[in-house]
Chain A
Amino acid sequence: ELKVEQNPLFLSMQEGKNYTIYCNYSTTSDRLYWYRQDPGKSLESLFVLLSNGAVKQEGRLMASLDTKARLSTLHITAAVHDLSATYFCAVGGNDMRFGAGTRLTVKP
């Protein structure tokens, strides 16, 4: 069974700092997603990564995928308060499995 592990689960960082969230998964998959969830809201799609070595960037967020290591990273550059949210990675197709989520708090 596909298992997805995310770490850290909680992340408190100061504005302007950089940090990386990690997502490991247990079985081969050609689809990895990153989502953002604000309190009380549904999921907002951030990135879809489909191939080994894929790298995508949007603003202060950059996601990468290493299918050989079964690892994806979400890198935050120069964090701002607006990035405070919970970030999920998810792997798979119709049998999508989510990581536990990383609750990010960016403090002034």
Chain B
Amino acid sequence: GAVVSQHPSWVICKSGTSVKIECRSLDFQATTMFWYRQFPKQSLMLMATSNEGSKATYEQGVEKDKFLINHASLTLSTLTVTSAHPEDSSFYICSATGLAGRFEQYFGPGTRLTVT
């Protein structure tokens, strides 16, 4: 149990375009989902926290108009990077909590975004 998937696993897009990343909890209902960004050889930085049906809470310094997060159901959250630029190139990892009786975050496999 506690499997989190992400799609796509990698994506290349042109500067100025938008790209959507999906995060799904496959075998449990995720009450809360998290989005992290990881630059090469660096640690994970929390971008935002989202609960189903409510607006995401963004960490300080994260542009909410650039990184749109939608948590439309208990099994799906999406991150849309709008008007992407090369500096947005990164490894984006989602996680989810909500497995009955467990509080840990379960991490997805990550999405590598390259903006050219």
Contacts and interface: CB of A to CB of B under 8 A. Distances in A.
Interface of A: 31, 33, 40-43, 45, 48, 88, 90, 93-101, 103
Contacts of A93: 103
B49 interface: yes
A47 to B, nearest CB: 11
B64 to A, nearest CB: 17
B111 to A, nearest CB: 10
Contacts of B46: 95-97
B97 to A, nearest CB: 8
Contacts of B41: 103
A101 B42 CA distance: 8
Contacts of B108: 42
B4 to A, nearest CB: 9
Interface residues of B, number: 19
A95 B107 CA distance: 15
Contacts of B107: 42-43, 45
B93 interface: yes
Determine the main DSSP class of A at the interface with B: loop
28 contacts: A41-B109, A41-B110, A42-B93, A42-B107, A42-B110, A43-B44, A43-B93, A45-B104, A45-B107, A48-B104, A88-B43, A88-B44, A90-B44, A93-B103, A94-B34, A94-B49, A95-B49, A96-B34, A96-B105, A97-B46, A98-B43, A98-B44, A98-B45, A99-B43, A100-B42, A100-B43, A101-B42, A103-B41
Interface of B: 32, 34, 41-46, 49, 93, 97, 103-105, 107-110, 112
Contacts of B105: 96
Contacts of A96: 34, 46, 105
